[in-house]
């Protein structure tokens, strides 16, 4: 968690990778939170940093199914595979100027 002053200065230039489909399961132990909640899908989210906890505008997300046999470790392994795919894609979209923020939404430019 960063200071509000730092976020106000650099927030639109800072991104975070979170192991859940935000806004569900923010904070720590997101995979365990998803299993405990009994949801059938979770995933990962790349989002801009804001003053909240895992609450910034969402850039990209990927969905991961939760199987009956999954525990926190096996689910995190599947989530990490998707994180390795979408994080570089989010960086590419930002560096190429292909997205814009409108309120809470991150939109792709044509």
**Cα–Cα–Cα angle for 89, 58, 95, rounded to 5 degrees:** 40
Residues 48, 17: Cα–Cα separation, whole Å: 9
**Active-site residue 18, yes or no?**
yes
Residues 18, 29, 47, 84: which is the catalytic one? Answer: 18
Residues 105, 28: Cα–Cα separation, whole Å: 24
The SS3 assignment for 63 reads: strand
Mind telling me the catalytic residues? 18
């Amino acid at each position: 968690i960063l200071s509000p002053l730092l976020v106000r200065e650099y927030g639109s230039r800072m991104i975070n990778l979170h192991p859940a489909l935000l806004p569900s399961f923010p904070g720590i132990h997101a995979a365990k939170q998803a299993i405990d909640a009994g949801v059938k899908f979770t995933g990962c989210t790349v989002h801009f940093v804001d003053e909240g906890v895992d609450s910034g505008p969402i850039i990209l997300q990927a969905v991961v199914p939760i199987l009956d046999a999954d525990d926190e470790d096996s689910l995190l392994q599947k989530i990490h595979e998707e994180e390795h795919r979408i994080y570089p894609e989010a960086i590419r979209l930002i560096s190429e100027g292909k997205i814009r923020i409108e309120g809470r939404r991150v939109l792709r430019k044509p």
